[in-house]
Each structure stands twice: as C-alpha cells, then as structure tokens.
Amino acid sequence: MLPECFATGFLSLLVMPTVISVEHLSKTYRLGQISTGTFTNDLKLWWAKMRGKPNPLLRIGEKDIGNRNGEELWALKDVSFTVEQGEVLGIIGRNGAGKSTLLKILSRVTAPTSGRIRVKGRVASLLEVGTGFHPELTGRENIYLNGAILGMSRLEIDHKFDEIVDFAEVEKFIDTPVKRYSSGMYVRLAFAVAAHLDPEILLVDEVLAVGDAEFQKKCLGKMGDISQTGRTVFFVSHNMSSILRLSKRVLLISKGTIENLGQPEKVVDSYFKIGTDSLSHREWINNQDAPGNDMIRIRSVRVINEHMQTIETVDIRKKTGIEIIFEQIQLGEPIVPTISLYNKEGQHVLIAIDTNNFWENPCEIGFHTCTAWIPGNLLNEGRLSVSIALNTHSSGAAIRQAVVRDVVVFQVLDPLVGDSAKGRFTGKWGGAVTPLLEWSRNYQAPITTSGK
C-alpha cells in the first residue's frame, strides 16, 4: 500500500492525480425472474431439485429454460479505465449499454459482481435531487435531512444553510412544510442542497435528471462550474452537443464493454457507426397481425443507411432510407406508398409519396420493397417517428389500404464537426428542418460623397 501511495504522490507532480481507477469491473444480472417470487414456490422448486424431479411449477409441455442458474446478462463486462482529477468524462452509449449501471456502482447504490473501483474523494450525484425529502417536514428540516442523506455533516450544513436558502429563493417559506411548496420551489430547494454538496466527484445522468429544460440547463451550468474548480465530473447524456461542449474525454459503452475512449469528436463519430436496434426495425412475421387488408399488408419497415444497414441513429449529414416491405395478396388497384415523419413535439415534419410512374399499374402478387431516401442535411436534430400508409387513389382523394403509425423511430444527430447546416454553432436549434441552403451575397461599397 505504502509504495503505491508514494508512486501516486510522485506522479502527481507531473500529471493530475488519478481520482478514479476502475479495474476489470463487471456486473451481471440474472435474466428473467430472480426467483419465483414467493417463498413457498421457491421451497417447492428447491425440494423438487433435491429429489431430481423436474420443475413442478411449469405448465405441462412448457420447457424449463433454467433461468435460475442459467442465463446471465452482463451489464458491464471487464471494464477498466482511469479518470484524472478535474476531468469531465462524457459517457455515451445506447439504452441498456451499461451507462447507468456504471453510475450506480460508482455511487455505491449497487455492488459490482467482480472487479473493483478505487475512488479518491467524496462522490455525489445530481440525479438524486430531492431524494429523501419528507413532505410533512419544513424546508429547514428537509435541508438538514437531505443534506445528511447526501453525506453532509450537520456542521457543514450549518455553514452552507444561508447560501442554500438564498440559492433556492425560499427564505419566506423556510418554516413551511414542503408539501405546500409549488413544484418549482420544491425542485429549486432540492437542487440547492445537492448543488452545495461540494463533492470531489460529481455524477450526472441527464436521462434521469428531473425537471424542465430550465432546470436541466441549471444542472449543466453547475457542472461547468464544478469542473472549473478542479473537480471531476462523470456525465451521461444522449445529447451529443452537450457531450461535445462539456467533456474533455468521452467513453463509449456498448453492450457492457468499452467500445471507445478518448477525444470527444472521434468517439462521438464512432457512436454513429455502431450497431442495430429494434426501435428502428419493425417486422410482422404473422400475416394476420400485419397492418392492412385482404388486398395488401405491410410486412416490414426499417430505417437504413446508404449501405442498407438498419440504423437507429442517423448522422445529420448522411442520406437515410425508410424501407417498406409489403405483400400484395390479391390483385387490386394501383398503390401509392406514403411516409410521414413526426418530431418529438408531435409536429408533422414532412409527408412524401412515391411519384414514380411504375406505381401506375397494380402490383403483382408477392412481396415488394420500396425505399424512400431522405437527403442528408435536411432534418433537424432529434427523435423522429415514422408513419407509413399504402394508399389507393380515387379521383384525387387517397383511400387508405394499409396504415401504421409511429412504426419506427430514429434519432438524428449532428456530430458538430462543422460541415452540417449548423456550421460551427453547437447549441440546440428550433425548426422542423435545417437544410443546407444555397446562400448568396452581394456587396455594395459605401457611396463616398466627400469631394476631394
């Protein structure tokens, strides 16, 4: 132990000291049910096992998949990295990649299955805002209770009490039970306590952060402040622009392992390139369930890139395809495929129909695939939901034959490297579309009136 301390101390003269070192960290969850849920059933199961009998709780004909000892999900698998003091580490990855598990282990909410983490300093997270607030207690009492839950001593809270109250702007109501607070006051007070914790290491999970946009902005601001003062910040986000703005290094987690760790731009770029996800692919195996009628049914919809791979996240600069596979069951009238995109606010961003003249004749019986290509540099950042309709037309009006709403979703992301419509700006922009327009400029020299 001693030589190790010495070594770290010596190195700190040269570089910033390591505050967190994660060594071969793994975490497994058992898939399916943890147990049968009741004690008596577990006993029955155990008793049957002891006698070598099959699981008595299974229905006849059901297969014992043996999830009790069998399948395990590796939420994290052999993850190792170190973080230096004062570093802001962005963590990105798809849902279920293991980001939140990592934060949970770091904040000691749950224990790892193997491996270990050495941590120097107090860890706190902004995701636990308002945790442990008791509605019957007054603001004052809750500040002390919440502070203590987060690990502050009474003395520390005494010192910071006035500051906290000031920050939360609740002086007048400090002796009122918090159940009478407006939700805004409640969140402000809760955040004020967390913000005055002064941890050496701060964990922020933007996905879990409560509150409105204003509040999240405050969180981000606080993170910025904290990193300025030489503290270390772990920052989980799906918002690439915040990641790029705030992080010094980015960790990309995929399926529980480190996919990439390093310079923000590079890692975010590699994030766009990985994997498939079911959110952006929908398929109907069974003819009966497929949307449509006796004439025509939609069998599959997916979001694809230029290489025909299913993608969930779309680079704003690249063209994206919406691929529809439908089955013509009986001969009928000519079909017009239609796609619509809706953004997160429910705004109808675009509608497009296929105007190719090969749709003028009825389709042959069998499977047909058609793909709508949306050009790059058109859609704005954010989540888009796709709706599909196969229409026939009768004197100018559309008659719906097969419709499916919000069938797949995809995420448009701007890697912010400067060649998108945002140029060198990094913030969030409004507008349903952000096309790269053709701009022109004229120059008019000032007219000089002074005679020489």
Nearest to 409 by CA among 268, 313, 309, 292: 313
Q: Which residues lie below 8 Å from residue 76, measured CB to CB, with a gap of 6+?
A: 25, 26, 27, 98, 101, 102, 105, 112, 253, 256, 257
Among 12, 82, 114, 183, binds another protein (CB under 8 A): 114
Q: Does 207 bind another protein (CB under 8 A)?
A: no
CB of 174 to another protein, least distance (A): 15
Among 17, 44, 78, 120, binds another protein (CB under 8 A): 120
- Count CB atoms within 10 A of the CB of residue 313: 21
CB of 128 to another protein, least distance (A): 4
The owner of tokens 């904290």 is 226
Dmax (CA) for the chain in angstroms is 114
Closer to another protein by Cβ: residue 125 or 338: 125
The arrangement of strands across the sheet holding 336-343 comes to 313-315, 397-413, 382-394, 336-343, 348-353
Closer to another protein by Cβ: residue 137 or 352: 137
Stretch that binds another protein, among 28-36, 217-225, 365-373, 427-435 (CB under 8 A): 28-36
Phi-psi region of 431 (alpha: psi -120 to 50; beta: other; left: phi over 0): left
Alpha-carbon separation of residue 249 from 70, 81, 127 (angstroms):
37, 12, 21
Stretch that binds another protein, among 105-113, 209-217, 310-318, 367-375 (CB under 8 A): 105-113
Q: Does 12 bind another protein (CB under 8 A)?
A: no
Nearest to 28 by CA among 77, 69, 94: 77
Residues from 31 through 50 that contact another protein (CB under 8 A): 34-35, 37-40, 42
Closer to another protein by Cβ: residue 28 or 257: 28
Closer to another protein by Cβ: residue 208 or 352: 208
Q: Does 276 bind another protein (CB under 8 A)?
A: no
Per-residue mark of binding to another protein, 125-154 (x: CB under 8 A): x-xx--xx-x-xx---x--xx--xxxx-xx
Closer to another protein by Cβ: residue 146 or 260: 146
Tokens at 91, concatenated: 């963590």
# residues contacting another protein (CB under 8 A)? 43
Closer to another protein by Cβ: residue 150 or 223: 150
CB of 253 to another protein, least distance (A): 18
Rounded CA-CA distance 130/190 in Å is 5
Angle, helices 213-228 vs 183-195, to 10°: value is: 10
Rounded CA-CA distance 194/320 in Å is 42
Closer to another protein by Cβ: residue 155 or 285: 155
Q: Does 113 bind another protein (CB under 8 A)?
A: yes
Closer to another protein by Cβ: residue 177 or 332: 177
Closer to another protein by Cβ: residue 17 or 362: 17
Closer to another protein by Cβ: residue 145 or 352: 145
Q: Does 258 bind another protein (CB under 8 A)?
A: no
Query: How many residues are given for the chain?
Result: 452
Q: Does 17 bind another protein (CB under 8 A)?
A: no
CB of 298 to another protein, least distance (A): 39
C-beta separation of 64 from 10 below 8 A? no
Q: What are the beta bridge partners of residue 339?
A: 352, 388
The owner of tokens 């996919």 is 259
C-beta separation of 103 from 97 below 8 A? no
Among 110, 183, 228, 330, binds another protein (CB under 8 A): 110
Q: Which residues bind another protein (CB under 8 A)?
A: 29, 34-35, 37-40, 42, 104-120, 125, 127-128, 131-132, 134, 136-137, 141, 144-145, 148-151, 153-154, 177
